[in-house]
Structure 1
Amino acid sequence: MYEAIEYLRKDYIVERLCAVLGVSKSGYYAYRNRPKSPPSKEEIEKVEKVRKEFFKQKGTFGSKRIAKELKANGTIINHKKVAKIMAESNLRAVVRRKKSTKVTKEQSAGYVYENGLNRQFDALLPNQKWVTDKTEISIDNQKFYISSLMDLYNREVIGFEVSTSPNTDLIRETIQNARKKRKLKSLENVLIHSDQGSVYRSFEYHKLMKQLKFTPSMSRKANCWDNAVIESFFSQLKTEFPHFYPNTTAGTIERNLRKYIRYNKKRIQKKLGYVSPSKFYSQFKKAV
């Protein structure tokens, strides 16, 4: 909840946000003063053991059974800790569901996916939780569509594309470029969260999900708070970009936007312990 407040406080009064989300103002400010630090080597080892056991059991074990299995093999870990690691790693045990032939209104309008992110805007490791969205900006009476993808681990924009058409090709390029930047063969076990825009509900996006093996997640209908981090990024971009590049034209917008993105990767963030997204990621790579 505090993450949502942090990224919407530029547009709303903090007291109001706290009241709506049912949290105390003092709790929120205490959260703000806690800098994020890279996980310890022991934490990383536990995550890897939980993930290894989950896949060893073909996704049929829940947190309690995984905790017992690890204990039997010499690793003591509470089942609640296992459950937290599974949630942050987008690991869900297989559950048998009742068959149904009914078609909901949402399904008839396209693919609508479960909100797997559920406003949990922190990630223990890179490439666990990515958030994405698109927006539009007008220059010289021409509309340009911007698609961005951010890794919640270090708040780095790892996918960014500009187009004159808000089609699936724009989204595909954004995701593929993020995959290449992180040097991933596939996106298996990566959760990608979006809103319920038509391109994300499309058959083409569904095919891309099957091809790259990522886990799709969607905000509830007309609920921007479910994707607050990327929404806030676009809000900041629209506020700052005209001041950074006041003479932008239709011919220079893409170049200038990419300069702005590079600047943001080097901008220090309090949430990351006053280091930049790029440096925070580099610290993780050195630690492992």
Structure 2
Amino acid sequence: MRNKYPQEFKDEAVRQVIEKGYGVCDVAKRLGITDKSLYNWVAKAKKSPAKNDELDEIKRLKAELKRVTEERDILKEGRSVLCKRVKERYAFIKSRLNKWKVTRMCSVLNVHRSGFYAWLNEPESPRAIENQQLLREIKEAFIESGGVYGSPRITSQLKRNGTHVGENRVARLMRVAKLKANLGYKRRYFKSTSPSTISSNHVQQQFVVAEPDNTWVTDITYIKTYEGWLYLAVVVDLFSRKAIGWSMQPTMKREIVIKAILMAVWRRQPKSNVIVHSDQGSQYTSDDYQAFLKTNNLTSSMSRRGHCLDNAVAESFFHSLKTERVKRKIYATRNEAKADLFDYIEVFYNRVRLHSHLGHQSPEEYEIRYKSAN
């Protein structure tokens, strides 16, 4: 294997640096790759002058969009205090110091910045000061999670950061600050007893395994954009719930699942046979897909037809993805959707998101601790 990372992975990693403005070292650290590799990928991507002009225009438009969006959001959240006393507007600004810039909030709410800072320096009770500090930490954890953590996970995150506090207090402060985790969609499950004629079900809803690269699960979902559908295939290791392979394509042909499995094989380099569990979709029953599994010492396993619970972990991953990142969102382009999904999978889900199944650890942290103990 000459190249550990497929081109699709490289392209999305470069987008984090060029389009989103993250530092090379920061992105490399979060993705678990070397700084040198990412520098080379970025340098290669910047060689095209036409692409540079396009990226500059994209940056300018994004900055303008960010400004207009912030002003809109400030007005939306602050409309209840627009006609109230100045001190109430100050209180609104204070409660959102970690969300927007003071200058912008003062401008939108028509108050003076110097007056706000003078009010801010008035003495407060020790308890109120402590609550403010705690609320700032809560908001930081909430924002870093993308707005998906409720009070239990926020409490766990604070304890990991060295702040020991009760969940009831965290829940009360979140309620006062109107911080509410994204709620999931209700899903109806339909059971069937029709087994696969291609591969047996080797998993049998036993989703707890003792070591990595024993069993992988895979599935496909779709994301809406104004250019049309973007299809996402993902491969998840049951051991750590880590997304180890993925592919994003404009069509749902069999190549999408093969590329996702190929990424997983490249990244994990399994030393022994691995069970790969899927549904009975045409992509997974295709001759090309089945031949790829056999060539790479992978054993095919399939759910009963129409029985979503047989592949519940993959379903759960997509459920988290859509409720925590994609909910009520329509991307302008497929590339925009790819960049955001890449950020969710590789930066947030694998390396940051606390997973309740793992004892409130991220998949990456869970695997590192397993390796150090073995």
**Scaled by the length of structure 1, what TM-score is found?**
0.59
- Out of 215, 219, 226, the residue aligned to residue 310 of structure 2 is 226
- Out of 323, 327, 343, the residue aligned to residue 259 of structure 1 is 343
Contact map agreement 2:196 2:280 (CA 8 A) in 1? no
* Deviation digits for residues 196-239 of structure 1 (CA, Å, limit 9, x no counterpart): 00011111111111111111100001110100111121122122
CA distance in 1, matches of 2:221, 2:263: 18
Contact map agreement 2:225 2:331 (CA 8 A) in 1? no
Sort the Cα spacing of 1:117 and 1:233 in 2 relative to 1 into closer, same or farther, 3 A: same
* Deviation digits for residues 127-184 of structure 1 (CA, Å, limit 9, x no counterpart): 0010000011120040111000000101100111100121121111111111111133
- State the match for 1:176 in structure 2: 262
- State the match for 1:238 in structure 2: 322
- State the match for 2:160 in structure 1: none
CA distance in 2, matches of 1:204, 1:164: 19
- State the match for 2:30 in structure 1: none
Contact map agreement 2:216 2:277 (CA 8 A) in 1? yes
CA distance in 2, matches of 1:285, 1:198: 37
CA distance in 2, matches of 1:251, 1:218: 32
SS at 1:252 equivalent: helix
Deviation at 1:257, TM superposition (A): 0.7
CA distance in 1, matches of 2:210, 2:223: 33
- Out of 239, 244, 257, the residue aligned to residue 153 of structure 1 is 239
Query: Which structure has the larger Rg over C-alpha atoms?
Result: 2
Report matched runs for 1:40-79 at 5 Å: none
CA distance in 2, matches of 1:220, 1:239: 26
CA distance in 1, matches of 2:332, 2:204: 37
- State the match for 1:142 in structure 2: 228
- State the match for 1:281 in structure 2: 367
- Out of 290, 295, 311, the residue aligned to residue 211 of structure 1 is 295
Contact map agreement 1:123 1:152 (CA 8 A) in 2? yes
CA distance in 2, matches of 1:166, 1:160: 13
CA distance in 2, matches of 1:231, 1:242: 15
Structure 1 gaps of 5+ residues are 1-8, 21-104
CA distance in 2, matches of 1:169, 1:148: 13
The aligned length equals 186
Contact map agreement 1:245 1:256 (CA 8 A) in 2? no
CA distance in 2, matches of 1:216, 1:230: 15
CA distance in 1, matches of 2:251, 2:264: 20
CA distance in 1, matches of 2:186, 2:330: 26
Sort the Cα spacing of 1:243 and 1:11 in 2 relative to 1 into closer, same or farther, 3 A: closer
CA distance in 2, matches of 1:207, 1:270: 36
CA distance in 2, matches of 1:150, 1:106: 21
Amino acid across the alignment from 2:204: N
Contact map agreement 2:354 2:360 (CA 8 A) in 1? yes
CA distance in 2, matches of 1:251, 1:287: 40
* Deviation digits for residues 104-144 of structure 1 (CA, Å, limit 9, x no counterpart): x975xxxx210000000001000001000001112004011
- State the match for 1:51 in structure 2: none
Structure 2 gaps of 5+ residues are 1-182
Contact map agreement 2:225 2:330 (CA 8 A) in 1? no
**Root mean square deviation, CA, Å:** 2.7
- Out of 188, 208, 212, the residue aligned to residue 126 of structure 1 is 212
Deviation at 1:240, TM superposition (A): 2.2
CA distance in 1, matches of 2:270, 2:215: 14
Structure 1 residue runs of 4+, over 6 Å off? none
Report matched runs for 1:15-54 at 5 Å: none
Amino acid across the alignment from 2:349: N
Deviation at 1:12, TM superposition (A): 5.5
